[in-house]
Amino acid sequence: MNSVHIVALLAVFQFIYFSILVGQARGKYGIKAPAMTGNEHFERAARVQMNTLEQLVCFLPALLIAAAYWPPLYVASVGVVYLVGRAIYQRAYVADPAKRGLGFALTFMPTVLLGLAGLVGAVMRSVP
Spatial CA neighbour of 22 closest among 39, 2, 9, 7: 39
Residue 74 dihedral angles phi and psi, to the nearest 5°: -65, -45
Q: Residues for the chain: how many in total? A: 128
The span from the CA of 125 to the CA of 128, in Å, is 8
The span from the CA of 4 to the CA of 66, in Å, is 10
Domain ranges of the chain: 2-126
Query: Angle formed by the axes of helices 101-126 and 72-95, to 10°?
Result: 150
DSSP state letter for 38: S
Of the options 3.30.70.1230, 1.20.120.550, 3.90.1150.10, 1.10.580.10, the CATH number for the domain spanning 2-126:
1.20.120.550
Element holding 72 (H helix, E strand): helix 72-95
Count CB neighbours of 90 within 10 A. Answer: 22
Residue 94: band (very low, low, confident or very high) from pLDDT cuts 50, 70, 90: very high
Q: What are the tens digits of pLDDT across the range 23-59?
A: 999 999 999 999 999 999 999 999 999 999 999 999 9
Contact 61, 117 (CB under 8 A): no
Q: What are the tens digits of pLDDT across the range 49-72?
A: 999 999 999 999 999 999 999 999
